[in-house]
Structure 1
């Protein structure tokens, strides 16, 4: 099912290699046919798309359903969570603060946050800037398991605990993508401007741009949920509706990194704002253009140290660097600024061509081991861009659904929850009571291992992560059977939960792979 609002403009492209962009009606027809086929062959529950050209919305609309149960159609007003596409909103607020003289890109964070602020070492503490946070230069892992569990800390408490978040690489040594630096960035912007991140999102972005439908996770109401496409996960050969209202605390805690909910109508306004260099639709300069342009500049190589890049597709699609809340790329020889995002079973992609004035956003609400979420949004973006660039699309209905030979996706391999010698068995091991107690990490908080009323060994960490521990054939290694609601998040049926002993054989900590740290016991 397709629902769309379409407005068209006849335009002339000035790029020398472009000769015959498609006409407006032809564009809509081809795009709708292509997307509907993609929705059908991938069995997507819902998809939204918007396409802009400079100051005009070329196409916006929806495909599929908000919910499979009620079958309300997705429209241009249906909200989708955009995950890490939120990061560009936070970097734009930083540019706004810089443009108003409230903040400088390269002043140490300690100058803004105060002398008591500390990072993992003195060098980071004295030198780190908001540019480093927004460009992922801290060498800090993502800690998605910690995020998913929801530590239930305020933004201020996360800032205080930030020094204890372990880092993997040296400062400014390697690009390493992480959500928590954007939480710290938001706190820095708040301190510099005196305005909460949530308030600034509405006052400085949503309202001035007329984005009346856009929301953030922390402010979602029942009315907002009624306009939202709920996400679905493919479990046991059927789609299961994710418990979005229960799990929303996951993104509330990291709102500046992943909390935006938006529709196609408002995403068009957001992209056009960037294509116009920070101006609103009337031409008024809302944000200092130079400060905004700084967020698009390459800041960090993002190829993870790979020396040779092997193209995956039959057209060039090279994404070598990260800017601030945006990625830099080339598509068919043209510079792009883009970002992707995912949360729960949502996935989205924003792409714009600064020199050509083209922008595309695509979002889906489906996660399945049968296809790659990111490929779906890439394909929509590239197909629409090719049409507007006057290029013959290299994708078609057949290659997008079965994209061999260049994009035959390897079957998704879930991380093995336990090694092959370890098989889940009973709920305890000999002397299992020695595992009981509170385990504590100075950055992430408390994890508790306990016996329930039926003498089953269980664990709890944060607000949402809790479950049963099943013993295995490997000593001190347990197999996790997660409770609601996070059973919807972790596709693997369980994962290693290992207790650590000291030389005297006493249990002194625990290690859980998706938490990415060991918790020493409380003394």
Structure 2
């Protein structure tokens, strides 16, 4: 959503901003003469203005406003593209893509776009529907016979439309993909082990694993991988030549941004590692720059055509932007209309004007793609920091006011006030937790008795090793420390990237008096995840 900021639970900034279309886990669209231009002509539009009474002064406005917001919110680098009436009216890079080497952001700098990738998956599904290969409302099992959820009703009745629209109400379980190198096929198999506190089609709930399944379905139906389908059917015709599906490919480019985080206490900005997330790709792995995303925005604002070629039917492109499920209102400002989730897009309004958007956040990157379809206006904002970073929204709303000819609202002030309220609420929550904490308690066993492997068929294996007064632990490829909290409860501090906060794990004792399992509240919309001790020398039957 954002993952933007989110209901992702304990997998804090990264997953939460992937999760909630930021709360806004954020958006743009149209297509005409752009693709008849050479790239050089197209991108020379950097400071050019298209024929609209309100587009005058866009460059001067942004080149004063954006750096001020970057400085205020400590964002190292930002790239922006503005499109209107089928033209790119502005592109620009601000700040640094590599702070250590003092390298600037350009319009060619590649950033992760996170959950904006979902709209590429829904577009692909629409193309397959046009070909008669995929029915939006037939059971998923018609295409994936092995498909199985924990809920037998969901297993039988879930449709491709359900997979892409977050309307199922089922728990997201994001830590599975974030902590592991499980293949796409393996994660689809693991869905059957994932419980939820909510019933099938009970309402909006962001779910990356089901969008990943939609991409897996695209691959199965098309006879090629999701990546190959998107590359050949979307990237190539739209000349999105710099876009890719892995941060490993981004780093082979001569112009890519590094990811950064901001310390929540000191505000210091530091570089963090790239996070490879190939398997969850259809929900969030695409990387791009504002030149490519401007092309995509213009296409989305059109009727599915590239020149005389119909890439997707007008009906299916329109369906991608058609509400499927209302989203919770939360504390939205009065200028923002009620939100609904469509198919890879959020549908709302800004000061009475229809608005389509999606955002995306993952390990050190935050992106926003927004479209005002009635004005054929689109905005792409790519940034290289995730934490405490409302710059994309502030700039976006500021630009809407400018281009719609409306009195400007001080969104920077509003976001600052909101941030202070959130910090105060978090501080109060910490105080409440400290007040409830039972000091001077001890584990029930010696630390060595907790050591070993514990497995959950959905999540994988947690391995525990004593270290000092606590443990070092791993969940699949994710390493973390565990410190004693109270009794047999151990707590994991936030990791050094600020991305993951696993919270508290509870060790459980079996009837024989030995530690035999772990209860982990990894998913707020599901029962505790139970990891059962793996025997040191399992029998053949246990191995099976």
Does TM, normalized by the shorter one, top 0.5? yes
Residues 1:499 and 2:507 are matched in the alignment? yes
Residue in 2 that maps onto 1:157: 186
The 5-angstrom pairing of residues 223-302 of structure 1 reads 223-224=252-253, 226-235=254-263, 236-244=266-274, 247-248=275-276, 251-280=277-306, 282-302=307-327
CA distance in 1, matches of 2:114, 2:125: 19
Q: In the TM superposition, what is the alpha-carbon distance from 1:455 to its structure 2 partner?
A: 9.7
CA distance in 1, matches of 2:72, 2:472: 41
**What is the CA deviation profile of residues 461-483 of structure 1, one whole-angstrom value per residue up to 9, with x for unaligned ones?**
111x12333223x111113357x
Residues 1:54 and 2:85 are matched in the alignment? yes
**What is the CA deviation profile of residues 139-194 of structure 1, one whole-angstrom value per residue up to 9, with x for unaligned ones?**
232323333312x2111111112111222311111111011001111111111111
The 5-angstrom pairing of residues 59-70 of structure 1 reads 59-70=90-101
Q: 1:11 aligns with which of 23, 48, 51?
A: 51
Contact kept? 1:146, 1:514, Cα under 8 Å: no
Structure 1, unaligned stretches of length 5 or more?
13-19
CA distance in 1, matches of 2:102, 2:205: 40
Secondary structure at the residue paired with 2:97?
A: coil
Contact kept? 1:7, 1:58, Cα under 8 Å: yes
Contact kept? 1:48, 1:63, Cα under 8 Å: yes
CA distance in 1, matches of 2:46, 2:195: 49
Secondary structure at the residue paired with 1:230?
A: coil
Contact kept? 1:65, 1:71, Cα under 8 Å: yes
Secondary structure at the residue paired with 1:467?
A: strand
Bigger CA drift: 141-150 or 260-269?
141-150
Q: In the TM superposition, what is the alpha-carbon distance from 1:130 to its structure 2 partner?
A: 0.9
The 5-angstrom pairing of residues 103-502 of structure 1 reads 103-114=134-145, 116-150=146-180, 152-217=181-246, 220=249, 222-224=251-253, 226-235=254-263, 236-244=266-274, 247-248=275-276, 251-280=277-306, 282-303=307-328, 311-312=332-333, 316-368=335-387, 372-373=388-389, 375-395=390-410, 400=412, 409-411=421-423, 413=426, 419-420=434-435, 422=437, 430-451=445-466, 457-463=471-477, 465-472=478-485, 474-480=486-492, 486-490=495-499, 495-502=503-510
Q: In the TM superposition, what is the alpha-carbon distance from 1:65 to its structure 2 partner?
A: 0.1
Contact kept? 1:360, 1:385, Cα under 8 Å: no
**What is the CA deviation profile of residues 43-102 of structure 1, one whole-angstrom value per residue up to 9, with x for unaligned ones?**
211111111002100111111100111111111111111111111111111111111211
Q: TM-score, normalised by structure 2?
A: 0.82
Q: TM-score, normalised by structure 1?
A: 0.85
Secondary structure at the residue paired with 2:394?
A: helix
Q: In the TM superposition, what is the alpha-carbon distance from 1:520 to its structure 2 partner?
A: 2.4
Residue in 2 that maps onto 1:512: 520
CA distance in 2, matches of 1:491, 1:443: 19
**What is the CA deviation profile of residues 178-218 of structure 1, one whole-angstrom value per residue up to 9, with x for unaligned ones?**
11001111111111111101111211111110011111126
Q: In the TM superposition, what is the alpha-carbon distance from 1:416 to its structure 2 partner?
A: 5.2
- Higher relative CO (Cα under 8 Å, sequence separation at least 6) belongs to 2
CA distance in 2, matches of 1:121, 1:148: 23
Q: In the TM superposition, what is the alpha-carbon distance from 1:367 to its structure 2 partner?
A: 3.8
Residue in 2 that maps onto 1:38: 69
Give the RMSD, CA atoms, in angstroms.
2.8
Bigger CA drift: 419-428 or 284-293?
419-428
Return closer, same or farther for 1:218/1:71 CA change in 2, 3 Å cut-off.
closer
Residues 1:82 and 2:90 are matched in the alignment? no
CA distance in 2, matches of 1:96, 1:8: 34
Contact kept? 1:477, 1:498, Cα under 8 Å: yes
Q: 1:102 aligns with which of 120, 125, 133?
A: 133
Q: In the TM superposition, what is the alpha-carbon distance from 1:426 to its structure 2 partner?
A: 12
CA distance in 1, matches of 2:308, 2:420: 45
Q: In the TM superposition, what is the alpha-carbon distance from 1:436 to its structure 2 partner?
A: 2.2
Residue in 2 that maps onto 1:15: none
CA distance in 2, matches of 1:187, 1:144: 17
Secondary structure at the residue paired with 1:377?
A: helix
- For these two proteins, the number of residue pairs brought into alignment is 484
Contact kept? 2:78, 2:381, Cα under 8 Å: yes
Contact kept? 2:45, 2:89, Cα under 8 Å: no
**What is the CA deviation profile of residues 403-424 of structure 1, one whole-angstrom value per residue up to 9, with x for unaligned ones?**
5767765327387597556599
CA distance in 1, matches of 2:69, 2:61: 12
Residue in 1 that maps onto 2:12: none
Residue in 2 that maps onto 1:16: none
Contact kept? 1:301, 1:321, Cα under 8 Å: yes
CA distance in 2, matches of 1:310, 1:69: 39
